[in-house]
Amino acid sequence: MLIAQITDLHLTPGETSSCQNIDRLRRVLKHIKDSPHVIDAILITGDLSEGGHPASYKALKTELTLLGIPYYLAMGNHDNAANLAACFPYVKLADGFLNYSINFPDLRFIILDTTLSGRHGGAFCENRADWLDKELGKESSKPTLIAMHHPPADIGIEWMTTREDSPWAKRFKTIIQQHKNVVHIMCGHIHRSIFLSYAGTTLSVAGAVAPQVSLDFSAIDPNKVDGRALVEDSPPSYTLHHWKSGQLTTHHVDIGAAPLIYYDAAHADVIKRTLDRD
């Protein structure tokens, strides 16, 4: 099963198609559509919209409908739950949150809402913890992927990160440590491609459709500007998760890389020598 994860689209109403986030999204979706492999599902891990405006969800729906691949949405801190649910009527909010599961024959997705209205960082209250605990316990041997917007771990970029001692992150980690069926946790929010081990499983953050966040581990002072780069001009990207024979393999994809070498007569020998067939 191939799952494309796209994240942090930050669509803004009124954008033109020239070099704006809607254009970046179209480039990502075209890459997915033109792939030589069949993609079974798309997970979109939040910040679909920049300001939660209904027009941005409508634009997203138009693009996804044209693509024709099943897709599943998660909330980000820039999203508006009511406007999102109004545009996608099959999205059902429970107690105002977008938490749900999708079952496939040999894999399950759990989509978690880690937002709290008015808050930039993550949130995961006791109600959501209870829901996740019960959901993971329902089919304790079923391999499960969790998709959520905020990474629940410190990824090192101070102005974007989650502190390890954040109550919400500690609450989430406790639940994950109690279950053995979580094969991977996929997140967004940071606008960078990141991989880490986490609570006995693995976790990745997908690169964004929108421009990426600059990599800088130095301490930041909220009361003193220092001129550092925060966001950089970079190609849109997405992540491809390949579930096969009980293993998940994750590939980062940058949009815009041009082919350099083709499998033609001049390079046929390269393939013969490189194929590792027992």
Residue ranges binding Fe ion (CB under 5 A): 8, 47, 76-77, 189
Nearer to Fe ion, 77 or 161 (CB): 77
Query: Please, what is the minimum distance in Å from the beta carbon of residue 47 to Fe ion?
Result: 4
Query: Please, what is the minimum distance in Å from the beta carbon of residue 49 to Fe ion?
Result: 10
Query: Please, what is the minimum distance in Å from the beta carbon of residue 216 to Fe ion?
Result: 17
DSSP character string of the chain: -EEEEE----B-TT--SSSSHHHHHHHHHHHHHT-SS---EEEEES--BSS--HHHHHHHHHHHHHHT--EEEE--TT--HHHHHHHSTT---BTTB--EEEEETTEEEEE-----TT-SS----HHHHHHHHHHHHHTTTS-EEEE-SS-SS--S-TTT---TT-HHHHHHHHHHHT-S-EEEEEE-SSSS-EEEEETTEEEEEPPPSSPEEP---S---TTS------EE----EEEEEEEETTEEEEEEEETTPPP---SSGGGHHHHHHH----
Nearer to Fe ion, 9 or 183 (CB): 9
Nearer to Fe ion, 119 or 138 (CB): 119
Nearer to Fe ion, 22 or 107 (CB): 22
Query: Please, what is the minimum distance in Å from the beta carbon of residue 17 to Fe ion?
Result: 21
